[in-house]
């Protein structure tokens, strides 16, 4: 294969991978914006509440990919896309260039703190423990009596099961939820 043909082949593959990651990310964003998370579960309909919902959904996708060696590059590309989107969003709300790296470190830290807190209860399908983890993190700033950690925990467990049922070949094509298939 000539150098030009090799470069063209890699470009096409990278472009296709970007399309797949964008499709998965669009499905995750659409799911994370459903009113149920803000109305029924009590996530605040604020910038941080939307970050919490998006973080939960990115985490659920990563949990699906965890044991699939073939999906590891896809998972990393999705995290990169998520971080890029969060950075773009904080710039859009007026955070200056000088403050962006500090905010990004804080938000990345929050995300990975949530991953660490939600992982064990999700693996065990322990809705009570997951609910407590959600109360300590995603629902921490929720007004008393407004957050339904149990409903959110049950949703996460059900969505993890839904994602686990997606065959890896569909996952690698960017088809993660029925509405994106």
Name the DSSP letter for residue 167: -
27 Cβ contact partners less than 8 Å away, ≥ 6 residues apart: 174, 176, 177, 179, 180
Q: List pLDDT tens digits, range 103-152.
A: 999 999 999 999 999 999 999 999 999 999 999 999 998 877 788 999 99
Q: What pLDDT does residue 1 have? A: 59
Stretches where the chain sits below pLDDT 70 are 1-16, 179-181
Domain borders along the chain are: 3-180
**The whole model's pTM is what?**
0.88
CA nearest to 147, candidates 138, 136, 139: 139
Cβ burial, residue 122 (10 Å; 0-12/13-18/19+)? buried
Report the pLDDT value the prediction gives residue 64, as an integer from 0 to 100.
97
């Amino acid at each position: 294969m000539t150098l030009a043909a090799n470069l063209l082949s890699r470009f096409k593959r990278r472009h296709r991978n970007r399309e797949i990651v964008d499709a998965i990310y669009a499905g995750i964003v659409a799911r994370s914006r459903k009113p149920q998370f803000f109305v029924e579960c009590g996530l605040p309909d604020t910038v941080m509440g939307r970050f919490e919902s998006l973080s939960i959904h990115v985490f659920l996708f990563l949990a699906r990919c965890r044991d699939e060696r073939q999906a590891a590059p896809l998972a990393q590309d999705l995290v990169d896309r998520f971080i890029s989107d969060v950075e773009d969003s904080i710039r859009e709300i007026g955070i200056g260039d000088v403050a962006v790296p500090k905010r990004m470190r804080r938000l990345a830290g929050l995300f990975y703190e949530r991953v660490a807190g939600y992982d064990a209860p999700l693996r065990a399908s322990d809705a009570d423990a997951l609910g407590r983890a959600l109360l300590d993190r995603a629902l921490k700033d929720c007004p008393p009596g407004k957050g339904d950690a149990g409903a959110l925990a049950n949703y996460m467990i059900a969505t993890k099961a839904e994602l686990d049922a997606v065959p890896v070949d569909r996952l690698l094509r960017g088809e993660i939820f029925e509405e994106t298939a």
